[in-house]
A and B are shown apart, each in its own frame.
Chain A
């Protein structure tokens, strides 16, 4: 990770993932939207880390041109690479790609919006705090300092 700039993350696809039984029977592949979710989650971490977990909510605002070039099947490991295009306090935009070795799996351009629930309703400040604490714990799990 280059804080505020790029992040690489990996996701392994396992036959143990329940939804694969439906997607699809006899031809299990990671659903396209979950490939996109991988890109979005990776970008969200870049935002949270850069903003020092100042906001609880980091949500997808828009996405365009998500292209699925190949299938991600059980046994494969997808590597996501996210590059920041713009990064502000409450909004950010990215380009993301997912590959498996040399094979390109997915590419997308998207924007996120980030805010606290308390911005609209001050009573939600405690909830914001709860979400942020959980995200900080999750980050420790995902990002092991080398």
Chain B
């Protein structure tokens, strides 16, 4: 069953609307989960569980949201910024994410901005291939 990116986006949107109590219009490609959509720790897990159910796949949380492992490692974060090593680590764990903006200012507090709706759609697309 081949799903188009649009199909995947619509399904992901439904998941986010349900998990976060949003309106359809709130969920855009660039919307960040934490900043724009108000998701918190427990919501991340709610989203993972719902995605697993919706797409019938397994989604290990560290694959979709690996930031915690990186943020707590002194090799990857220094002086409030993600180091080159950290950046490489994040990129390898999150091939579905666009780092171009983040690289300009790899502030550790901005890692959350990497988690956009588009990133989730990319991730699912990758899993379904």
| CB<8 Å pairs between A and B, sample of 8 | A64-B21, A65-B20, A65-B21, A67-B40, A67-B42, A67-B43, A69-B40, A109-B21
- Residue of A64, A65, A69, A109 contacting most chain B CB atoms (<10 Å): A65
Nearest residue in A to B21 (C-beta to C-beta)?
Answer: A65
In Å, the complex CA distance between A109 and B42 comes to 17
Would you give the shortest CB distance from B37 to chain A, in whole angstroms?
A: 12
In Å, the complex CA distance between A64 and B21 comes to 7
Interface residues of A (CB under 8 A from B): 64-65, 67, 69, 109
Q: How would residues 1 to 42 of chain B score, 1 for a CB under 8 Å from any chain A CB and 0 otherwise?
A: 000000000000000000011000000000000000000101
In Å, the complex CA distance between A30 and B84 comes to 45
Would you give the shortest CB distance from A97 to chain B, in whole angstroms?
A: 12
In Å, the complex CA distance between A109 and B17 comes to 13
Nearest residue in A to B20 (C-beta to C-beta)?
Answer: A65
Would you give the shortest CB distance from B22 to chain A, in whole angstroms?
A: 9
Nearest residue in B to A65 (C-beta to C-beta)?
Answer: B21
* Interfacial chain A residues near B20, Cβ < 8 Å: 65
In Å, the complex CA distance between A65 and B20 comes to 7
In Å, the complex CA distance between A109 and B18 comes to 12
Would you give the shortest CB distance from A25 to chain B, in whole angstroms?
A: 24
Nearest residue in B to A109 (C-beta to C-beta)?
Answer: B21
